[in-house]
Structure 1
Amino acid sequence: MTALYLKAVHIIFVVTWFAGMFYMPRLFVYIIEAHSKQEPEKTILIRQLNMMASRLWFAITWPSAIITLCMGASLLINTPSWLEYGFMHIKLTLVFLLYLYHLSLHRIFRQLQRGIVNYTSQQMRFWNEVSTLFLIAIVFIIVLKDALSMLWGLLGLFAIIILITLGIKIYKKNRK
């Protein structure tokens, strides 16, 4: 029964963590675009967006990432036999890469909070989709486990990347 409670809490905080990682790069897009506005709009927008980003990052995203990690580790401690399965090694590798992505968002967040803009809004729109790819890959691996062919999984991810890229390009074209 303990494992079920741990799993439930783990899933809840995975959802809130992803919510933060889905919205954070979107806020980065708005902050970057606000830097090209004229005063006083520029200052007002940047101040408001930075406050929104800070609250999201420190009140939701970081705590959710930490609780997700703790609950995931607790699940593995409670059921160490999961580590015998190949799909779990793939999932844990993807989760490790997801935490690196999270840290990259933290670095970008810190830069933007200091007024340093190193990326275009278009680059942030692409970076925004990385968490979507992680979510899709991790969910399919956990649900399908060993039934998932690596070839089909990779082909599916490439197809999704192409669709996302096309969607962003179409949006950019229609936005202008």
Structure 2
Amino acid sequence: MQYYLYFKALHIVGFVSWFAGLFYIVRIFVYHAEADEKPENIREEWKSQFNLMAQRVYKIIMNPAMMITWTFGLLMLGFNHGILQQNWIKVKLVLLVLLTVYHVYCKTIIKKQEKGEKTYNSFQFRLLNELPTLFLISIVLLAVLKDVLNFVYLFFGIIAFGALLYFIAKAYKKSREQ
């Protein structure tokens, strides 16, 4: 039982670090996209710096944190495999797989930006940056509540929250343009 608590603690440290990286990398993507609006004499230098920052965040923060999250989460499941009979953990694992897909998608954006290919504009990246928020809220509440029926209601609440974030982002964009 003592090992389980260490695994849980390291799992929490892992996912906190992972989400920090997920939030930060897309902010770097925003800055990279906004560099297109800068004067030509500094544009490429800034983009080069943002590419370097994105690579470091991905390799030094996000990848290790994701591996720590998955490793200690799976170790907890190994020590308490009966939990796999509960529906909430199945939903959580699906969300974690989707989050991992998002993680890998961020790598494809890094590669495209390094090649100078057009990806998204800064507003679209700001919206993309809200996706980990929805994952975070969903996964944490699901892990705490452990009730799929309540999660269904919660899911629709999170979708509404996502819509609210979208409208706030639109309003922020409009205020910046004025």
Q: What TM-score comes out, normalization by structure 2 length?
A: 0.94
Q: Residue in 2 aligned with 1:2?
A: 3
Q: Residue in 1 aligned with 2:175?
A: 174
Percent sequence identity over aligned pairs: 39
- 1:113-139 CA-to-partner distances (Å, cap 9, x unmatched) read 221122121111111111110000001
Q: Distance in 1 between matches of 2:29 and 2:35?
A: 10
Name the SS of the counterpart of 2:65 in structure 1: helix
Structure 1 runs (4+) deviating above 6 angstroms are none
RMSD of aligned Cα (Å): 1.3
Q: Residue in 1 aligned with 2:12?
A: 11
8 Å Cα contact 1:87/1:145 also seen in 2? yes
Unmatched 5+ stretches in structure 2: none
Unmatched 5+ stretches in structure 1: none
**Cα distance change, pair 73–132 in 1 and its aligned pair in 2 (3 A):** same
Q: Report the more deviating stretch, 132-141 or 36-45.
A: 36-45
Q: Residue in 2 aligned with 1:92?
A: 93
Q: Report the more deviating stretch, 141-150 or 57-66.
A: 141-150
8 Å Cα contact 2:88/2:148 also seen in 1? no
Where does 1:1-176 land on structure 2 (aligned, <5 Å)? Answer: 1-146=2-147, 149-176=150-177
- The alpha-carbon deviation at position 148 of structure 1 amounts to 5.1
- The alpha-carbon deviation at position 163 of structure 1 amounts to 1.3
- 1:24-55 CA-to-partner distances (Å, cap 9, x unmatched) read 11110110111232222202211221121111
Q: What TM-score comes out, normalization by structure 1 length?
A: 0.95
